[in-house]
Structure 1
Amino acid sequence: MATTFADQLRSLPDEALGALIQLRPDLVIPVPADVSALAVRAQSRNSVARCLDGLDEFTLAVLDAARLTRAADTALTSVRAVLELTTGISEEDVRLAIDRLRVRFLLHGPEDGLQVVGAVDEVTSPYPAGLGRPADFLDPQAAALCADPAKLRRTVLAAPPGARAVLDRLAAGPPIGALTRDAVAEPVRWLVDQHVLVPVSEAGRAPRPDGELVELPREIGMLLRRDTGPLGVLRPSAPVPDGPVRDQRAADSAGAGQTMEAVRAAEAVLESLAAEPAPVLRAGGLGVRDLKRLAKAAGVDEAGAALLVEISYAAGLLGEAENGQNQDNFLPTGAYDLWRAAGIAHRWAALARAWLTMTRQPGLIGRRDERDRPINALAPDAERAGAPQARREALTALAELDPGAAPAADDLLALLAWQAPRRARGRETAHRDAYAGAALLGITGLGALTSYARLLLTDAGPDDGDPLGVHPEDAHADAVRALDQLLPAPVDHILVQADLTVIVPGPPEPELATELDVLAEPESAGGASVFRVTPASVRRALDVGYQAADLHALFRRRSRTPVPQTLTYLIDDTARRHGGLRSGSAGSYLRSDDEALLAEVVADRRLGTLDLRRIAPTVLVSPRPVARLLGALRENGYAPVAEDAGGTTVLTRPKARRAPSRSPRIAEPAAPVLAGPRLAGVVEQLRRGDIATRAARRAPVTVRAAHGQAIPGLTAVQQHTQAMAVLQQAVRDKARVWVGYVDSHGATLSRLVRPVSLSAGYLRAEDERGESLHTFALHRITAAVTEE
């Protein structure tokens, strides 16, 4: 019969052992050598604490009941004892909670002899269920009081109001109080004099009459909980959040609209940084003034701008580049151009993936750290390793509700606190930030989780086609397709109005979007975008190489409405004036066949800073650079063009500055998903490790002596030359031998093999049990003995 923890694990069938590994994947990172090593790891503090973090409130309460009902002499409990302590709860719910603890091996053993894993007491509160220690452990007089139930009730009923308030507070847990205020000193002193409270030392082990800490004995705490039960209020099922239930189609529609707005705002932020790069602060991060500028450019508040900046950086769309003056600036990367050319659904999926997995908490931006300094966007102070898990917890809780459920943030936090109270403690702010970020990105619509976001949260499980999970992007293809069906189809046409506004009735195709960036100025964005054609935008189009005829043809091809005559006149008039002036380097020069136009330029006081000077009837020169000359002329209503030394017009398409490309900063999941072939392989490896361990125990005495084990009557270790002789003979006879060797990690192992060849410093041998071929370096072999 199995008696040890390792024996109980070893006796499990493969399905049960695989279930344990799935519930506690940290046990096989890395895969232990055998089941004994697995058992040691399963009882370690870190692994037990990680397992407890995933348990719900009721299961933890049942675990506390098991701790409270342990016998003093054997430290064992039973299912019946736990059932007696969980009064008012159905037996089925309690047994299900016990099964959850047993399948995780936090409780193990038969029903009448359950044992709590020792590390549970080390990583949980020393006061199970908020109850103190027994009275006979704390103080003999308190034990005598608790031994007389009638006297104990009379003493509690006779407590003054202040003392009764103290008792109620300690009964709710934890049962330890401190004398820190004079206002409570008198009521506490009365309770101490009546032996209802026991003074304890700070270590909580030995009584100390003059101590500042007091403890409520367990028996008195259970008496005060007579209305709620010994364990307090128990909730076997999760609280159901109150809130409206949205129509799923309405939620999806609202969410899809928000995804378009999120993509537009992210693009606006990055375009603003491309036009005017923001310097990197000396302490790291983005300055407050630059963040306000980006928020204004994107049409969002500062919190929204901070979130978009963080997501863009995590997605690899934003990076840092030196400006040539030993100053790093934030700039879009080369990946931004590829991202911008993709469809809206793909662009949104890239942002959503980065948000889900980035180890940043944008909600902290704008707050102050422990040194009372503001936390800036992209600063190191906003780094939080637990942020990805907090987001996934919040969204998973939403996904587990009925479709269309739109709970309030407080109700969602209450649900999370029940599902994993140990993990949710201290993460309230992170969960609220996750809820707000999901709304801004369109993951939720009208407060409800959208259908495409549910697909985004569903990771692709390992299958026969991808057993190692090396194509995680396939997990989001369904989400992209679902969102594509909700978004309006990209349009390839525009509606030109008489007031020179251009309406795009939907998301523009990439080619049309590129044309509009040159031809018009954006005025508003949304389901339908509005642009305006201005003289400056027409001149910009002419600067990049369009001719007047090209612009007329483009508007005729793209517009579903007749091109207004005002637009035709604007293009022709701007084109006629365009290139009337030409500049080059002198500093710079300005020439024109129109002498009257040059005379007007020279006489223009607004251009006095250019220091223009006529050197010929048709030529002016300036000491200023060409770029400054062109900019000043254009700002004052002229339309010059640049030319090279041969007089050929130079087309000036603005060159976009980009930071070096960088990989998205995405956190890896805490543990891989183990299922199917991978899980079966881990279980098989553990079983093989057990076989190898048992085989090592059966190895001949000479081999074990070579490994340094103490063997009575053996005073010398077999020489290396003798081992080589045994192996050479085994190769000739095709006999099996025991080989002792030291692996690359310094561990000493033994293996029964059949040598195949011995050459070039290596032994090649077959392991018939494992049906595999092994190669041993000869200098690592410590012994070799023929099988008897």
Structure 2
Amino acid sequence: MARTLADALREFDDARLIELLRARQDLTSPIPHGIGPLAARAAQPGSVHKAIGSLVLPELQLAEVFAAYAGPVAPEQLAHAVNASTEQIAPHVYRLATLALVYTDENGRALIPVRALSEALPHPAGLAPRLSSDPTPDDAREIVESLPAELREIADSLAFAPARLTGSPDSSLARQLTKARLVTKVNGPGGSRLLIPRTVHLALRSGVVHRSFAHAPTPGPEASPERFGGARDAQMLEAALEASRIAATIATWHADPPSVLKRGGIPLREARRLAAAAHTSHETWTSIIHAAWVGGLIGNDGETWQVTREFEEFSDASPARRWADLCSAYLRSNYLGSLAGTRFGDVSLDGLHEGEARTGESPRAALSASVGRKGVKVRRRHMLRHLADYPEREASAASLAESLAWAFPTVQRAAIIEEAYAFTRETEAFGLLVDGVPSALAPAALEALAREEVEALEYLESVLAERLPEPVEHVLLDSDLTVTVPGLPGPRVAAVLEWTDVTSRGAGVVARVTGESIARGLSAGGSADALLDELAALSLTGVPDVLAYLVRDEARKRGQVTVGPATSFITGEEEHLDRLMTSSEASRLGLKRLAPTVVISSGDPGFVMGSARAAGLAPLAAGASGAAAHERTLGTVRGGPVGLELESDAREQALDVEPSEALTRIRAAEAGRLDEVSVPQRLLAAIADEREIQIGIVDGRGGTRVLHVKPLALEGGRLRARDAEAGEEFTVLIHRVLLP
């Protein structure tokens, strides 16, 4: 009997099998009952497709050679097909064999790909699909060698061109190429098209599938030296603090909340307005605001975007903790916030194209699914690892794109460019990159991804906190209404700055007090007397009279009407409201009594309902009109993305069972120490051993038809098999299959 993949896997030692199970985690769900079922599952099309997604570029090139030849390939032929030596390809061949995508024949002289490899790569290296009408390899060589001289130059130009040719199939040149059997005419839904048969194409290439063998990408150039010692660290800290400040500006949304687009997200015009109000660029603002969204600080009710309850805790945290929350959310998200406002394909390695918008496609909206993409966080982790490997090199979008293309060769080129471009913008916004050079925070971000989320937050906070200078709790006031903070603002100074318009940030902060800024502070619930008292306590230069006059003048204008928060109303008998007002829940609800039978609360209606129950009352839900409503219609704005569950990349799946434990159970089943073997496991064993078995198929009337078959594949709850007598393939649902 010919050697099978199961035979090859039985020769693996424990270490190599564990490597296989770790790299292809879908093979252990559920755990196979033996090496045979493991091999059969590894050869299934769906599993092979996932495994191809984990290959790096040189491994994919070799996989395409196997797919191109769709049969045994000798190592020398394999090396020739990629213009490399057998020594160069050896480690990559070993990796493909470890992933159970190829195995050696019984003589050990050739490598055999699993059947599904060709199915998963139907157009390897631009070649046409294999057709039954293709000439044999010998005939293809004869076709190429017997080409007339006038077609020789054309044939050479077609050698590494795509197999599908453009142009009219009825042109004079097309007829010449067809007559020479260099191309064939294929009919399809869109009409006839010209195709170079795969065997002819390989003959034109003299058996070469890829003209050059991929090598690991080279890093960017050496980073230029700092003009001043510590300049990059200072810029890093400034960017980290700026990220915290930008996120805090969402507190102003209550006054003029941005609207929600029908397709989800924030309108581009509003996003630009909010970025300008936050005194930052649109790209930086969208980078930070997406992290705030993913972190649950922002949500929407379908009409407007609002802050959530989590924002209050966030705003009370230290600057280092706020940065840690934002950075962690960014690192673990599948979003590319800085691409908001662009269309797919608009981004180049040098920036944004200024070309015309593609027909029918709208710009991607911030805070929407349009800026999300499967596998982004896995590729972001790879780029962080690239920064860690080359800490003294510049990380340009071009060098990062090259690294991504090598590590993720199956990802579309335009997507690779977009993600590399977005990474440079977003990491600059968080202080992980400074002028294209990795900062001291970059390795900390990579380390955080290896930790549990809570532990990662504490770690990131400590890394930034130990680098921040001691905060200052004093200011310098000038008669021109300028406020100068000579260092990192402490909590009390930061509160005072809320009453100002900041004009400059860096080693310190320069701000200016205006009538509008004071009005903004008063509108937020501040007190003019409290502000002047605090300024007197913090100022090293006293409080100029002109500033005191301005504050008091603005205060006198306020108070014509009073507006306060009231998210919920509660009505009921006076005695019941008395009980609620005196309960332990009252302080958390922010209750205010307007009348004996009417109370308002700043708490969310759903939260108030639960608190009323805790106080021993039986509340009834009411809508905005006062009529009874279903309780599920009440509730707080939910933070974070809703309705967008991006799948994880195959390289990032969580293990249900550790590979070592899974191997122990597979070995036990192989040795016969596990008695219970299911029908699927027995079918998988037959597939792995490539043997024929007898099965029963239950028909719709309860009868059973007995067949002698060769099982071919088992996937998606269906068995594909070949009838041993009729020679025909068929598919049947697994629950209809009986085994003796």
Provide TM-score, normalisation by structure 1.
0.65
The answer (yes or no) to whether the contact 1:200–1:215 under 8 Å persists in 2 is no
Pairwise CA distance, 1:24: 1.7
Q: Find the aligned partners of 2:87 and 2:445 in 1 and give their Cα distance.
A: 35
Work out the CA distance in 2 between the residues paired with 1:275 and 1:218. Answer: 69
Letter in 2 for 1:196: L
Task: Assess if the C-alpha contact under 8 Å between 1:20 and 1:103 holds in 2.
Answer: yes
Indicate conservation of the 8 Å contact 2:168/2:174, yes or no: no
**In structure 1, what is the Cα distance between the partners aligned to 2:151 and 2:252?**
69
In structure 2, C-alpha distance between the alignment counterparts of 1:20 and 1:62, rounded to whole Å: 18
Change (3 A) 1:14 1:523: same
**Structure 1: gaps spanning 5 or more residues:** 204-209, 322-326, 462-468, 584-623, 629-643, 646-653, 699-708, 712-745, 747-788
Q: CA deviation at 1:430?
A: 3.5
Equivalent residue, structure 2, for 1:319: 299
Question: Once the two structures are superposed, what CA deviation does each residue of 1:583-620 show, in whole Å capped at 9, x if it has no partner?
Answer: 8xxxxxxxxxxxxxxxxxxxxxxxxxxxxxxxxxxxxx
Q: Partner of 1:563 in structure 2?
A: 542
Q: Secondary structure at the match of 2:542?
A: coil
Equivalent in the alignment of 2:94: 99
Mapping 1:397-476, distance limit 5 Å: 397-400=386-389, 402-427=390-415, 428-458=417-447, 461=450, 471-476=452-457
Alpha-carbon deviations, 1:6-62, whole Å to 9, x = none?
Answer: 354345332221111222223224544554443333112222122212222222222
Pairing 1:286–2:275 present:
no
Retained in 2: the 8 A contact 1:244–1:406? yes
Conserved 8 A contact 1:317-1:336:
yes
**1:387 and 2:376 aligned:** yes
Q: Is the 8 A contact 1:80 1:112 kept in 2?
A: no
Partner Cα separation in structure 2 for residue 237 and residue 187 of structure 1: 39
TM-superposed CA distance for 1:476, in Å, is 4.9
Among candidates 291, 303, 308, match of residue 288 of structure 2: 308
Partner of 2:17: 17
Counterparts of residues 5-404 of structure 1 (less than 5 Å)? 5-32=5-32, 34-67=34-67, 75-87=71-83, 89-109=84-104, 111-126=108-123, 128-131=124-127, 138-139=134-135, 146-147=141-142, 151-152=146-147, 155=148, 157-159=149-151, 164-165=153-154, 167-180=155-168, 185-202=171-188, 212-215=193-196, 218=199, 221-223=202-204, 225=205, 230-246=208-224, 251-268=232-249, 270-321=250-301, 328-367=303-342, 371-400=360-389, 402-404=390-392
Question: Relative to 1, partners in 2 of residues 1:582 and 1:689: Cα closer, same or farther, differing over 3 Å?
Answer: same
1:484-503 deviations in Å (ceiling 9; x for gaps): 34433322222223433221
The question of whether the paired residues in 2 share the 8 Å contact of 1:354 and 1:664 is answered with no
Pairing of 1:451-530 with structure 2 (within 5 A)? 451-458=440-447, 461=450, 471-518=452-499, 520-530=500-510
Q: Residue by residue, what CA displacement relative to the aligned partner does 1:329-364 show, whole Å, maximum 9, x if unpaired?
A: 212112112212223232222222222333334355
- Rounded to whole Å, the distance in 2 between the matches of 1:103 and 1:351 is 39
CA contact (8 A) 1:551 1:571 kept: no
Give the residue type in structure 2 aligned to 1:21: L
Residues in 2 aligned to 1:406 and 1:582: alpha-carbon distance in whole angstroms:
54
Contact 2:29 2:656 in 1 (8 A): no
CA gap of 1:288–1:196, structure 2 versus 1, over 3 A, is closer
Once the two structures are TM-superposed, the CA of residue 297 in structure 1 deviates from its matched residue by: 0.6
The separation in 1 between residues aligned to 2:269 and 2:2, in whole angstroms, is 68
Instruction: Quote the Cα distance in structure 2 between the aligned partners of 1:581 and 1:361.
Output: 45
* Secondary structure of 2:305 counterpart: strand
- Post-superposition offset of 1:656: 13
CA shift in 2, pair 1:317/1:137, >3 Å: same
2:700 is aligned to none
> Deviation of residue 444 (structure 1)?
1.5
Distance 2:457 2:551 in 1: 48
Instruction: Tell me the alpha carbon deviations over residues 460-482 of structure 1, each in whole angstroms, 9 at most, x when there is no partner.
Output: 65xxxxxxx7x333235444333
Query: Is the 8 Å Cα contact of residues 135 and 143 (structure 1) preserved in structure 2?
Result: no
Alignment coverage as a number of residue pairs: 594
Q: Unpaired runs of 5+ in structure 2?
A: 344-357, 565-591, 594-601, 608-634, 679-692, 696-716, 718-740
Deviation (angstroms), 1:123? 0.6
Does the 8 A contact of 2:297 with 2:310 survive in 1? yes
Q: Distance in 2 between matches of 1:287 and 1:145?
A: 58
CA deviation map 1:121-153 (0-9, x unaligned): 011034x4445689996359x96683388644x
User: What letter corresponds to residue 324 of structure 2 in structure 1?
Assistant: A
The change in CA–CA distance for 1:181 and 1:2 in structure 2 (over 3 A counts) is: closer
The equivalent of 2:579 in structure 1 is none
C-alpha displacement at 1:298, in angstroms? Answer: 1.0
CA contact (8 A) 1:69 1:82 kept: no
Query: CA shift at 1:119, angstroms?
Result: 0.9
Residues 76 and 114, structure 1, Cα contact 8 Å, conserved in 2: yes
Percent of residue pairs bearing the same amino acid type: 24
More relative contact order in 1 or in 2 (CA 8 Å, sep 6+)? 2
* Structure 1 partner of 2:583: none
SS at match of 1:15: helix
Alignment of 1:542-691 (within 5 A): 554-559=534-539, 561-564=540-543, 566-567=544-545, 570-571=547-548, 660=636, 662=638, 664-665=640-641, 669-670=648-649, 678-690=658-670
Assess, with a 3 A threshold, how the Cα gap between structure 1 residues 379 and 92 changes in structure 2: closer, same or farther. Answer: same
Structure-2 separation of matches of 1:251 and 1:552: 37
Tell me which amino acid in the other structure corresponds to 1:41.
Answer: R
1:606 corresponds to: none
- Structure 1 residues 351-380: Cα deviation after superposition (integer angstroms, max 9, x where no partner): 222223333343553346874445432344
RMSD over aligned Cα, in angstroms? 4.5
The structural deviation recorded for 1:108 is 1.5
Question: CA shift at 1:546, angstroms?
Answer: 5.9
How far apart are 1:158 and its partner, in Å? 3.0
User: Which residue is equivalent to 1:725?
Assistant: none
Cα 1:253–1:679 shift into 2, 3 Å: farther
The 1:391/1:579 distance shift into structure 2, 3 A limit, reads closer
* Aligned CA distance change for structure 1 residues 374 and 211 (closer, same or farther; 3 Å): closer
